[in-house]
C-alpha cells in the first residue's frame, strides 16, 4: 500500500497565547520519567536536538518529571536554541523526599518557578502551567500567584492542566489562561464533556497530552506483561488483563482503517486529534528519532473527513474498555469524567 497523498495543506499553525506553534509539539516527560528506564543522556540529547532540526518549536516539561531532571535536561540541551522555541513547564506537582506531592500554595508556586528558571537556564518561561489543581487551595489563589510571576517578568503566559471547564472559567476570570493541557486522544475523550468547547469559546489553546494513548495508538503497542514495574501503564486499568484484550481488538479495527487510508496508525491518531479544532495542539512524546519524524509528518497530511470520522466511531468513550486511571488517582484530577467506569 502506498502512503497517503495529502489532499491539501496540513493543519495550520496554532496560537497559544502570544505564541504561534505548529499543531504538533513535543512532550519531554518520557525522556526522564514514568515510562520505565529512561534513555541515556546522549540519546535524550540526540532526540531533542533532532526535534529542533526538524522544526519543533513547542517543548513541554515539568518540575515533576524526574523530580527536576527533565527540566535540567531540557535546559542544558536547548539553552543554545532558546530564541527559537516556546518553552513550557509546570508547577503545583513536584517530588518531595522521593514522593509526588500536589501543592498549589502561592509560596510553593513562587519557589518552584525560581527553581525551574535555574534548571531551564532561562530568564523567563514562555508558558507555565498549574500541573494539578490542589483541592486544598482555591484555584484563584494558585492562579493569582502565577499572575504575579507574569507581572515580575518570570513567565510570559499561564496554563492549567487536568482541570474541568468550570475550573478553567474560574481561573480565566483571575488572569487570562493561554492553554489548558488535558489528556485527549481517540480513547480519552474527556475534553468532549466540556473543555473542548470552553477552550474554543475563551480563546484558550487545548494542548492534548498523550494523543497516542500512551503508546497504544502506534504501530507497536506495548505488551503490559513486559513493562518494567516502574512504568505507569502497569497501574492503568486500560492496560490490565481485564481490559487490554478488548482494547486491542478495537485497535485492530483502527489499524485496518489506517492501512486502507495509506497511513500508519500513529499518523491517523494524531491527525484525528489536530482535526478536533483549530485551537487544538497535539503533544506526543517519544524516545525514537524515527517516531519523532513520523509524528511530525502529520503536519503535511490532510486525511479525508470520512476517515477521521470513522476512526472516531471505532474508538471513543463508549467503546474503550476501562477508565483512564485507578479510582485513587482519579480523585486527584479535576477533569470531567466520561466512558465506562470499569
Q: What is the DSSP string of 60-81?
A: E--STGGGGHHHHHHHHHHGGG
> Burial of 101 by CB count in 10 Å (0-12 exposed, 13-18 middle, 19+ buried)?
middle
User: Would you state the cell numbers that stand for residue 176, as one nine-digit string?
Assistant: 487570562
What are the helix (H) ranges across the chain?
A: 41-53, 69-78, 106-120, 139-151, 165-174, 195-202, 244-261, 265-274, 289-296, 305-314, 327-330
Tell me the three state secondary structure of residue 201.
helix
* Long-range CB contact pairs, 5-9, < 8 A, 24+: 5/262, 6/300, 6/301, 6/302, 7/302, 7/303, 7/304, 8/302, 9/302
Q: How far apart are CA 46 and CA 51, in angstroms?
A: 9
* Radius of gyration of the chain, Cα coordinates, nearest whole angstrom: 19
Grid cell, residue 131, equals 500541573
278 neighbors 10 (Cβ within 8 angstroms): no
Query: Which residues sit opposite 89 in a β-bridge?
Result: 128
Residues with a catalytic annotation lie at 65
Amino acid at each position: 500500500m502506498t502512503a497517503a497523498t495529502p489532499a491539501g495543506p496540513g493543519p495550520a499553525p496554532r496560537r497559544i497565547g502570544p505564541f504561534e506553534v505548529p499543531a504538533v509539539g513535543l512532550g519531554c516527560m518520557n525522556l526522564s520519567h514514568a515510562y520505565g528506564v529512561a534513555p541515556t543522556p546522549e540519546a535524550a540529547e540526540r532526540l531533542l536536538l533532532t526535534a529542533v532540526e526538524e522544526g519543533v518549536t513547542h517543548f513541554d516539561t515539568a518540575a515533576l518529571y524526574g523530580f527536576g531532571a527533565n527540566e535540567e535536561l531540557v535546559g542544558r540541551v536547548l539553552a543554545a536554541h532558546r530564541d527559537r522555541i516556546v518553552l513550557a513547564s509546570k508547577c503545583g506537582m513536584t517530588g518531595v523526599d522521593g514522593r509526588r506531592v500536589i501543592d498549589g500554595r502561592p509560596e510553593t508556586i513562587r519557589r518552584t518557578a525560581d527553581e525551574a528558571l535555574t534548571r531551564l537556564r532561562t530568564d523567563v518561561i514562555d508558558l507555565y502551567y498549574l500541573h494539578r489543581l490542589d483541592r486544598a487551595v482555591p484555584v484563584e489563589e494558585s492562579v493569582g500567584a502565577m499572575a504575579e510571576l507574569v507581572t515580575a517578568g518570570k513567565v510570559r503566559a499561564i496554563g492549567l492542566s487536568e482541570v474541568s471547564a468550570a475550573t478553567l472559567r474560574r481561573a480565566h476570570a483571575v488572569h487570562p489562561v493561554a492553554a489548558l493541557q488535558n489528556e485527549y486522544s481517540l480513547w480519552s475523550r474527556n475534553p468532549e464533556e466540556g473543555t473542548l468547547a470552553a477552550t474554543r469559546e475563551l480563546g484558550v489553546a487545548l494542548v492534548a497530552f498523550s494523543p497516542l494513548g500512551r503508546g497504544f495508538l502506534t504501530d507497536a503497542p506495548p505488551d503490559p506483561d513486559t513493562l518494567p514495574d516502574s512504568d505507569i501503564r502497569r497501574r492503568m486499568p486500560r492496560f490490565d488483563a481485564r481490559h487490554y484484550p478488548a482494547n486491542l481488538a478495537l485497535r485492530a479495527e483502527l489499524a485496518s482503517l489506517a492501512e486502507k487510508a495509506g497511513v500508519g496508525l500513529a499518523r491517523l491518531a494524531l491527525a484525528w486529534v489536530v482535526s478536533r479544532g483549530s485551537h487544538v495542539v497535539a503533544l506526543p512524546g517519544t524516545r525514537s528519532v524515527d517516531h519523532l519524524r513520523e509524528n511530525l509528518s502529520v503536519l503535511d497530511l490532510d486525511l479525508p473527513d470520512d476517515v477521521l470520522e470513522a476512526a472516531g466511531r471505532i474508538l471513543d468513550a463508549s467503546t474503550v474498555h476501562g477508565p483512564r486511571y485507578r479510582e485513587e488517582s482519579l480523585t486527584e484530577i479535576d477533569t470531567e469524567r466520561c466512558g465506562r467506569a470499569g
